[in-house]
Structure 1
Amino acid sequence: MSPKVRLLVVDDDPLVRSALALMLGGQPDVEVVGEAADGRAALRLVDELDPTVVLMDIRMPRMSGLEATRALHERPDPPHVIVLTTFDADEHVVGALAAGADGFLLKDTPPAQILEAIRAVADGDPMLSPSVTRTLIARIRDDSEDDRGESARLRLSVLTGREQEVALAVGRGLTNAEIARTLHLSVPTVKAHVSRLFDKLQVTNRVQIAICVHDAGLV
């Protein structure tokens, strides 16, 4: 049996913290090991409690979730971080992902999907809600869409047929497990393909793969 996911909940609203802890801690494979009201407290509790996943609010006093995520990512063996926000157009979305966040969800995400995201990132599978992915793509695109499209198609042309299929699936927002089922592959094989996509497309996360696929007009 796999060990429980050790979860740290970070939010400056005590009601939100309590609700998340109550909802998520009742699962047989998730253990809520602590709660923090700001980024500074989160960093301290990560040292003390060694969580697997940190559910991190962005907007908090003293130290924001963005700052805390960046500080955690600079550590040698950081926990996985899922960033929570109220609005999918939050101006810190791109910054949080650049800081090392493994997932990004809206606070009104259904509980079942939050749990799915926690389990996914604990297993090394980044998770972004589809609305957040669409927002990121819209925010990152500049005015030179024709040039971007040509560049994206050129980058994708170096991929093998199977790698292109995986890239398209990532562009649609599928998780590794969903890609495996769709393409009749094992999850480790999908992870290997995604790692090769990082190298061949010269990107650092799945959002950038999705942007490339969208810029090429394939999704």
Structure 2
Amino acid sequence: MNLLIVDDDPLVCESLELLLSREQDLQVVGTASNGAEAITFCHRIDVQLILMDIQMPTMNGIEATKQLMQLYPNLLIIMLTTFHDEQNIKLALAAGAKGYLIKSTDVTKMAHSIRSVASGSSVFDPRVIETLLTPKENILSELSKREQSISQLVAKGLSNKEIATQLFLSEGTVRNNLSTILDKLELRDRTQLAIYYLQNKESD
């Protein structure tokens, strides 16, 4: 099986290339330092499976996975990263990754995981499974009354201007509070905030 290793740390690439090449049925055909390089490489060389880091310059692993799956639907991608937070896991799976491993994974287990994915299975590090199964703590109660009011109005679909008018605030104050709310809840945008608020409001 032809493997491509994608990581912005040259030592990680070199180590994995050396160790995985010892497996008779696995051949590392190249390495790339970011997602854009990975896409270019796949245009030139037949790659069957990619071990993909997430945090990389130029293009991260999740965006690269998304684009590669559109270009090469049969390509297999396993995320290999130090991050196992819920957001990255879900984004990676939504992009089309077939597995999610942590970099500290033993190489023998990694090789076994590669073969499992090649045979049609999905593979996840035990820590990843634990993250997915552990209920996310509802921390709406930790927001100030103003932040809770803004969250509620966002969930109702109001714009910043409409929220400012209703709460007698400036739009700038609403924007600043919204940024703080997203940081506290570890969310990306107002859409995620609306969904989170609607899912958790009853338990507060």
1:110 to 106, 109, 112: 106
Structure 1 residue 142 displacement after superposition: 7.3
Structure 1 residue 71 displacement after superposition: 0.6
Is this contact kept in 1: 2:36–2:58, CA < 8 A?
yes
Structure 1 residue 134 displacement after superposition: 1.4
1:19 to 15, 20, 24: 15
Q: What amino acid sits opposite 1:85 in the alignment?
A: T
Is this contact kept in 1: 2:2–2:47, CA < 8 A?
yes
Q: What amino acid sits opposite 2:64 in the alignment?
A: A
Equivalent residue, structure 2, for 1:92: 88
Is this contact kept in 1: 2:6–2:33, CA < 8 A?
yes
- TM-score w.r.t. the length of structure 2 is 0.64
Helix, strand or coil at the partner of 1:20: helix
Residue-by-residue CA offset, 1:32-80 (whole Å, 9 max, x unaligned): 0110000000001112112111000000000000000011111253410
Q: What amino acid sits opposite 1:25 in the alignment?
A: S
Q: What amino acid sits opposite 2:29 in the alignment?
A: V
Equivalent residue, structure 1, for 2:120: 124
2:43 to 43, 47, 55: 47
- TM-score w.r.t. the length of structure 1 is 0.60
Q: What amino acid sits opposite 1:16 in the alignment?
A: V
For residues 24 and 53 of structure 1, what CA distance do their matches in structure 2 show? 13
Q: What amino acid sits opposite 1:111 in the alignment?
A: V
Q: 1:74 to 1:121 in 2, by over 3 A?
A: same
Residue-by-residue CA offset, 1:173-213 (whole Å, 9 max, x unaligned): xxxxxxxxxxxxxxxxxxxxxxxxxxxxxxxxxxxxxxxxx
CA RMSD of aligned residues (A): 1.8
Structure with greater Cα Rg: 2
Equivalent residue, structure 2, for 1:30: 26
Q: What amino acid sits opposite 1:61 in the alignment?
A: P
Helix, strand or coil at the partner of 1:74: helix
Q: 1:26 to 1:112 in 2, by over 3 A?
A: same
For residues 58 and 75 of structure 2, what CA distance do their matches in structure 1 show? 21
For residues 11 and 126 of structure 1, what CA distance do their matches in structure 2 show? 21
Residue-by-residue CA offset, 1:118-167 (whole Å, 9 max, x unaligned): 11111221111121011022266979xxxxxxxxxxxxxxxxxxxxxxxx
Q: Which runs of 4+ in 1 moved over 3 A?
A: 139-143
Is this contact kept in 2: 1:72–1:78, CA < 8 A?
no
1:73 to 66, 69, 82: 69
Unaligned runs of 5+ in 1: 144-219
Residue-by-residue CA offset, 1:6-48 (whole Å, 9 max, x unaligned): 1000000000000000000111000001100000000011121
Is this contact kept in 1: 2:78–2:98, CA < 8 A?
yes
Equivalent residue, structure 2, for 1:56: 52
For residues 142 and 127 of structure 1, what CA distance do their matches in structure 2 show? 28
